């Protein structure tokens, strides 16, 4: 063999070997990720790498500002009008196709306790959601405790049973989702201040809100659908529906989700990442986009969600750690709660969030909590309210404070003294339901809140909301166009109206599977 041939073969072999090693290094998560995440080393390195590869990345996935696309294009006759929910007689399993994503660093998840029950639920959820579920850094990402992997198939059923949901509560959810689907506008949005049919004509629903915010309305429309396991993919979760006669089938809402997400992407500022300059609207839209990105790993959604998180970070008060109405303004507990949950939703989706952002949130929470009572105020400690206490407790739980913490126990007892029937404020009930769900069996918080003090359903959030729903078990049997919605009640509903009210009520009834329990050793529900 000639010398030049030997050189060529050797060079070729070396090239193949190095190429193989590069591929291995690219697809294999670094064992050092968890060790340096707290110091931000990996985050900085990944950010630099992503910046270097941005052009190639977007050449592969397309323009991040373009419309997302489902696995199958929408029929041409649905181009200008929202598709009606598709009813199917046969169940359809979830086999979502995964879109390859780059390995991005995230902070470690909040501490939680693994259990046999959780391990089984986690495995079921992983199988049902498919390979599109991102799971970075051990238990971070969608499969983490508190994560979003329990929203479909076997994982959803297990979480529903374990958490104390029922077939009746799921029927209530199905009615509510249909009402939302029937009130989506042609451009994919939902309006807070008007009730309009998909064909653009006004409907007979009353009590619309006063706030003109299509971004917030669209987020409120999307979040309950995402919580139910529905994405823009045609093979996502289908919802069991039955009419008053007991007949029905499976309803698919993926077209509605697709158009809603496209609307938010179209509204996002290309420079700042803001879906809206109004912090409530932006935080809600960011939560929705992060959840959709985490459930599908769609690169278009991930790009949009990461931009939204950048705006959240830019908005945060660098001194006090909270958020309010203008960038870097000293915070209040209400706005901070929504913005913080946007950060947590990003973490669950495997997006980049610097750990110091959470340290700042803790600083803010310390400034508004009364250490003697465990209650939270609006802008400062003292004079705590039920709603702000629920917000503060939920943030603390997601930041890693265990339910056995003395201040959390005090807060749990305080919320139990303000049960749903005595304080029908949907904003308060939404946050309290989440906080008590994660408090679990500590001081009997969750069973008391969910099923009532006597465990018979009376006085608990589950049956209380079911009974309040238009078209529910105690409503007249004749269906109206408002069937499935909730009459607005409580603070802030004058702005958000029936859409906001219905969305938050649905999310409260989806609490069993929307986020997996943070602390399984404290979890438990009466059967």
Domain with residue 147: its CATH number is 1.50.10.20
Q: What is the pLDDT of residue 249?
A: 84
- Please indicate, yes or no, if residue 23 is contained in any of the structural domains: no
More reliable by pLDDT, 445 or 55: 445
29: pLDDT strictly greater than 70 = no
Burial class (CB in 10 A: 0-12, 13-18, 19+), 438: buried
| pLDDT over threshold 90, residue 149 | no
Whether residue 58 is predicted with pLDDT greater than 80 in this model: the reply is no
Asked if residue 3 is part of any domain, the answer here is: no
**Is the model more confident about 91 or about 401?**
401
13 inside domain: no
**Of 31-40, 47-56, 88-97, which has the strongest mean pLDDT?**
47-56
Within a domain: 2: no
Closest CA to 194 of 175, 214, 178: 214
List, for residues 173-201, the tens digit of each pLDDT value.
Answer: 999 999 999 999 999 999 999 887 777 77
Mean pLDDT of 91-99: 27
**Confidence band, pLDDT 50/70/90 cuts, at residue 476:** low
Confidence of residue 69 (pLDDT cuts 50, 70, 90): low
CA distances from 200 to 88, 189, 295, 470 (A): 26, 12, 30, 23
Cα distance between residue 59 and residue 64, in whole Å: 10
Of 134-138, 154-158, 496-500, 522-526, least confident by mean pLDDT is 134-138
Is-contact 373 410, C-beta < 8 A? yes
Q: What is the mean pLDDT of residues 205-233?
A: 95
**How many C-beta neighbours within 10 Å does residue 247 have?**
8
| Least confidently predicted of 68-77, 262-271, 319-328, 358-367 | 68-77
In a domain, 445, yes or no: yes
- Within a domain: residue 6? no
Average pLDDT over residues 301-322: 98
pLDDT value at residue 242? 75
Residue 100, domain extent: 31-522
Give the DSSP letter of residue 486. B
Characterise 382 by phi-psi region: left (phi > 0), alpha (psi -120 to 50), beta (else): left
Asked if residue 18 is part of any domain, the answer here is no
Burial of 459 (0-12, 13-18, 19+ CB in 10 A): middle
Query: Does residue 24 form part of some domain?
Result: no
At 364, phi and psi to the nearest 5?
-65, -45
Give me the pLDDT at residue 478, please.
52
Q: For the chain, what is the domain count? A: 1
């Amino acid at each position: 063999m000639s010398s030049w041939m030997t050189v060529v073969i050797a060079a070729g072999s070396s090239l193949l070997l190095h190429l193989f090693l590069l591929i291995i290094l690219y697809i294999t998560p670094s064992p050092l990720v968890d060790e340096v995440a707290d110091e931000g080393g990996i985050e900085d390195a990944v950010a630099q790498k992503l910046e270097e590869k941005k052009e190639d990345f977007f050449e592969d996935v397309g323009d991040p500002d373009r419309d997302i696309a489902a696995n199958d294009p929408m029929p041409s006759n649905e181009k200008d009008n929202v598709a009606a929910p598709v009813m199917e007689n046969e169940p359809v399993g979830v086999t979502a196709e995964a879109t390859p994503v780059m390995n991005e660093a995230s902070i470690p998840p909040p501490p939680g306790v693994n259990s046999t029950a959780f391990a089984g639920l986690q495995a079921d959820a992983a199988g049902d959601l498919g390979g599109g579920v991102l799971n970075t850094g051990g238990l971070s990402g969608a499969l983490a405790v508190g994560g979003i992997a329990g929203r479909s198939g076997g994982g959803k059923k297990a979480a529903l049973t374990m958490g104390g949901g029922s077939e009746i509560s799921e029927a209530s959810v199905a009615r509510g989702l249909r009402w939302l689907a029937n009130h989506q506008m042609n451009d994919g949005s939902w309006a807070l201040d008007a009730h309009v049919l998909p064909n653009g004509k006004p409907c007979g629903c009353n009590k619309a809100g006063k706030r003109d915010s299509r971004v917030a309305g669209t987020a409120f429309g999307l979040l309950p659908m995402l919580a139910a396991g529905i994405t823009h993919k045609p093979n996502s979760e289908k919802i069991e529906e039955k009419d008053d006669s007991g007949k029905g089938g499976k309803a698919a809402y993926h077209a509605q989700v697709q158009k809603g997400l496209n609307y938010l992407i179209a509204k996002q500022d290309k420079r700042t990442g803001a879906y809206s300059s109004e912090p409530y609207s932006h935080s809600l839209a960011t939560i929705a986009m992060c959840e959709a990105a985490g459930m599908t790993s769609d690169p278009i959604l991930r790009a949009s969600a990461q931009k939204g998180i950048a705006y959240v970070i830019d908005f945060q008060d660098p001194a006090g750690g909270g958020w309010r109405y203008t960038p870097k303004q000293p915070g209040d507990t209400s706005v901070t709660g929504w913005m913080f949950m946007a950060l947590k939703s990003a973490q669950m989706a495997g997006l980049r969030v610097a750990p110091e952002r959470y340290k700042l949130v803790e600083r803010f929470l310390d400034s508004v909590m009364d250490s003697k009572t465990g209650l939270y105020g609006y802008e400062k400690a003292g004079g705590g309210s039920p709603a702000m206490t629920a917000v503060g407790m939920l943030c603390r739980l997601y930041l890693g404070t265990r339910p056995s913490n003395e201040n959390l126990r005090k807060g749990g007892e305080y919320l139990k003294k303000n049960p749903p029937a005595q304080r029908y404020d949907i904003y308060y009930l939404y946050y309290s339901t989440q906080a008590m769900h994660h408090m679990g069996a500590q001081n009997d918080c969750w069973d008391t809140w969910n099923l009532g003090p006597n465990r018979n359903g009376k006085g608990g959030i589950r049956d209380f909301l079911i009974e309040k729903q238009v078209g529910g078990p105690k409503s007249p049997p004749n269906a109206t166009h408002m069937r499935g919605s909730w009459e607005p009640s409580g603070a802030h509903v004058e702005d958000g109206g029936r859409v906001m009210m219905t969305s938050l009520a649905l999310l409260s009834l989806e609490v069993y599977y929307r986020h997996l329990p943070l602390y399984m050793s404290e979890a438990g529900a009466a059967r």
